[in-house]
Chains A and B, each alone.
Chain A
Amino acid sequence: MARLTCNTISDNPSTMPTLIIPTPLRKFTDGQGTFSAPADTVKSLLASLAEAHPGLKPHVFEDSGVLRSFIRVYVGDEDIRALQGEDTPLVERDDVSIIPAIAGGLCGSTL
């Protein structure tokens, strides 16, 4: 049986990895839902994002520069904590998602 060969067409027309910005952080990116920059690791892509949109820094990074514990980062469907963390390498057309941890409740005192 003959097999057809299909070319994979990415949604990202550039050859740079793309960050997908969650809704609550878009107020800091002029409403843009994606951000692309040349980067070979997650860390360098996040650094470019922070440089371009400094208003989101306190919501993504601690003062020390590390990711806040309530922020998750995925490359495709993989949590970077299961990969190489912020040193996870990126290749062209990778989609990187920032996911805010959604949690809470009564534990601890009320404000």
Chain B
Amino acid sequence: MLPLEIQPDVLKRMTSRAEAAFPNECCGFFYGAEGEVKRAITATTAVDNHKEGDQRRRFEISDLDYMKAERHAAKEGLTLLGVYHSHPLHPAIPSEYDNAVAMPFFSYLIVSVQPEGTAHVRSWQLDDSRCFQEESLVTLPEAWRV
């Protein structure tokens, strides 16, 4: 599993959105390129949480927004590398539901948010047994590490 190298401004956009959405969950996509030794994340797009009802413990991205993300990646010459979402008041550990829905290849980055701001950030990817394995975030600020 390759380490993730996230551009600082791109990471900041994700965490800022997670903080702005608190106490609800936010979600979005990120893009970049996968090389021999790392995944480089260079862009992100935010999308609306389409989950009906209580959004404090669930997020959902519409099929149309997914199609737009694929088209955006193709247009920009980037690879759609994964999805981010937030866990308000909870650690950035995937839930059973996260696992059931997850697709291979994608990185699933989770921002743990507290009322005072981002607590920590972790990222996960399914292995061949459909179990989540944690990915290393090489450019993550020390304050957001577990």
Bound CA span A63–B143, Å: 44
> How many residues on chain A are close to B (CB under 8 Å)?
26
Shortest CB distance B108–A (Å): 8
Please tell me if B117 contacts chain A, counting CB pairs below 8 Å. no
Number of interface residues of B (CB under 8 A): 39
Interface residues of B in 89-117 (CB under 8 A from A): 90-91, 93-106, 108
- Of the residues B51, B70, B97, contact of A23 by C-beta under 8 Å: B70
Name the 8 nearest CB pairs between A and B, nearest first: A104-B98, A24-B103, A102-B61, A105-B58, A106-B57, A24-B105, A103-B60, A23-B80
Q: Scan residues 52-67 of chain B and give those whose CB is less than 8 A from a CB of chain A.
A: 56-61, 63, 66-67
* A72 to B63 alpha-carbon distance, docked (Å): 8
**Do B97 and A107 touch (CB < 8 A)?**
yes
The answer to whether A24 touches B94 (Cβ under 8 A) is no
User: Main SS of chain A's interface residues?
Assistant: mixed
Residue of A nearest to B29 (CB): A102
Among residues of A, the one whose C-beta sits closest to the C-beta of B110 is A104
Which of A11-19, A35-43, A46-54, A93-101 interfaces with chain B? Answer: A93-101
Show the binding face of B for A, using Cβ within 8 Å. 25, 27, 51, 56-61, 63, 66-67, 70, 73, 79-80, 83, 85, 87-88, 90-91, 93-106, 108, 130, 132
What are 6 contact pairs spanning A and B, CB under 8 A? A27-B104, A99-B66, A101-B63, A102-B61, A103-B59, A110-B91
